Amino acid sequence: MDNNTVISIVVPLQQDAGLVEEVVNGIDLVLKDRYRFFEIVLVDDGSSDGTNAAIQPLLKKIRRIRYMLLSKTFGREVALTAGIESAIGDYVVTLDPRTDPFDLIPLMIDSCRKSGGIVHGMAENLLRRWFFREWCGSLFRSYCRKHLGVDLKHGVSDFRVMSRQAVNALLQVREQSRYLRVMTLSLGYQHDFYPYQVKHRKGYRPPAWHNEVVTAVNLLAANTRHPLRIVTAVGVLGALLNLSYACYVMVVYLLRPSVAEGWTTLSLQASGMFFLICLILAVLSEYVGVILGEVRTRPLYFIAQELNSSVLLEDTIQSSIVKESVGE
* Residues 208 and 289 placed together within one structural domain of the fold: no
328 has a pLDDT exceeding 60: no
**Residue 125 covered by a domain:** yes
3-state secondary structure of 71: coil
179 has a pLDDT exceeding 60: yes
The phi, psi pair for 241, rounded to 5°, reads -65, -40
Q: Which of 221, 255, 276 is the last residue of a domain?
A: 221
Question: What's the pLDDT score for residue 291?
Answer: 74
* Residues 42 and 182 placed together within one structural domain of the fold: yes
Average pLDDT, rounded, for the chain: 80
Find the DSSP H helices in the chain.
20-31, 51-61, 76-86, 105-115, 131-143, 164-171, 180-185, 209-223, 226-255, 263-295
| Percent of the chain residues topping a pLDDT of 90 | 26
Question: What's the pLDDT score for residue 268?
Answer: 64
Cβ distance 38 to 309 under 8 Å? no
Write the pLDDT tens digit of every residue in 215-249.
777 777 777 777 777 777 777 777 777 777 777 76
Write the pLDDT tens digit of every residue in 13-31.
998 888 999 999 999 999 9
In which band, very low, low, confident or very high, does the pLDDT at 204 lie, cut at 50, 70 and 90? low
* Residues 203 and 264 placed together within one structural domain of the fold: no
* Residues 260 and 201 placed together within one structural domain of the fold: no
Q: Pick the residue with more confidence: 301 or 1?
A: 301
Q: Which of 155, 190, 221 is the last residue of a domain?
A: 221
DSSP structure string for 132-163: HHHHHHHHHHHHIIIII-----TTEEEEEEEE
Residues 6+ apart with CB under 8 A from 179: 77, 215, 218, 219, 222
Highest mean predicted confidence (pLDDT) among 24-38, 237-251, 294-308: 24-38
Residues 133 and 264: their CA atoms lie apart, in Å, by 38
pTM, whole model, 2 decimals? 0.74
**Residue 319 covered by a domain:** no
Q: What angle do CA 207, 217, 138 make, to 5 degrees?
A: 65
**Residue 207 covered by a domain:** yes
**Residue 190 covered by a domain:** yes
* Residues 152 and 214 placed together within one structural domain of the fold: yes
Write the pLDDT tens digit of every residue in 131-142.
787 788 788 888
* Residues 194 and 248 placed together within one structural domain of the fold: no
266 alpha carbon, distance to own chain's centre = 47
> Considering its fold, how many domains does the chain have in total?
2
* Residues 166 and 139 placed together within one structural domain of the fold: yes
Question: What's the pLDDT score for residue 325?
Answer: 42
* Residues 204 and 232 placed together within one structural domain of the fold: no
* Residues 283 and 160 placed together within one structural domain of the fold: no
* Residues 127 and 240 placed together within one structural domain of the fold: no
Q: Which of 221, 253, 278 is the last residue of a domain?
A: 221
DSSP 2: -
Question: What's the pLDDT score for residue 319?
Answer: 41
In which band, very low, low, confident or very high, does the pLDDT at 111 lie, cut at 50, 70 and 90? very high
Cβ distance 153 to 191 under 8 Å? no
Q: Pick the residue with more confidence: 121 or 211?
A: 121
Q: Pick the residue with more confidence: 6 or 144?
A: 6
Question: Crossing angle, helix 226-255 and helix 263-295, to 10 degrees?
Answer: 160
**Residue 322 covered by a domain:** no
**Residue 307 covered by a domain:** no
The phi, psi pair for 172, rounded to 5°, reads -80, -15
Write the pLDDT tens digit of every residue in 55-70.
999 998 888 899 999 9
Instruction: Give the residue numbers spanning the domain of 78.
Output: 7-221
* Residues 104 and 208 placed together within one structural domain of the fold: yes
- Give the CATH number of the domain where residue 69 resides: 3.90.550.10
**Residue 26 covered by a domain:** yes
* Residues 104 and 129 placed together within one structural domain of the fold: yes
Question: What's the pLDDT score for residue 249?
Answer: 67
